[in-house]
Structure 1
Amino acid sequence: HPMETGLRKDAKTGQLVPAHFIQDVTATINGAAVLSADFGTGISKNPYLGFKVKGPKKGDKVVVNWVDNKGDKNSAEATIG
């Protein structure tokens, strides 16, 4: 994700690059919420998110969803191995 703050100027035009950043992140394991986070402009481009959860088992499905300030949504999923 680009994670633009809205404060950086384009080197060629001198115009501000519009803000575009992740705002809301949620994670579930087998559909049960395990993480909810609010992001902002201080998070780096293509952010790395790590967290620990007690109790998951091999084969459980982890899904991470996010929504950015433009309303774009995306998700990623993995199976615990």
Structure 2
Amino acid sequence: MAKMKLKARLKDGVTTVKVLMSHPMETGLRKDKKTGEMIPAHHITEVMCEHNGATVLSAEWGGAISKNPYLSFKFNGGAAGDSVKITWTDNKGESETAEGKIG
């Protein structure tokens, strides 16, 4: 369904992770303009980031996040070449994972 773009860069001992996620992020409060029917809720509920298998970010999201969300965060302790993995899960049970190396 969706795709993610992940970049992780190390500078002065701090790793900056930037992620662009493709997702419709429907709140369940909007009507279809053609049919007048409510569009069912479909949004990311959880985002997890792991660095070499250890969780460095855990976030709970709701319907108030915009379509195709962008997430950026920093953490200490990374090294060039280390693995970074981002996984999201949505309210329909779908999920997506992206992996990359710290550059």
Pair in the same fold by TM > 0.5: yes
What is the TM-score normalised by the length of structure 2?
A: 0.77
Residue number in structure 1 paired with 2:52: 30
Q: 2:72 aligns with which of 50, 62, 74?
A: 50
| Count of residue pairs brought into register by the alignment | 81
Task: Pick 1 or 2: higher relative contact order, CA cutoff 8 A, min separation 6.
Answer: 2
- Percent identity, please: 59
Distance in 1, Cα, partners of 2:66 & 2:97: 18
* Larger strand fraction of residues: 2
Q: Say what the alpha-carbon RMSD is for the aligned residues.
A: 0.5
Runs of 4+ in 1 over 6 A off after TM superposition: none
Runs of at least 5 residues in structure 1 that lack an aligned partner in the other structure? none
What is the TM-score normalised by the length of structure 1?
A: 0.98
How many Å apart are 1:78 and its aligned residue?
1.1
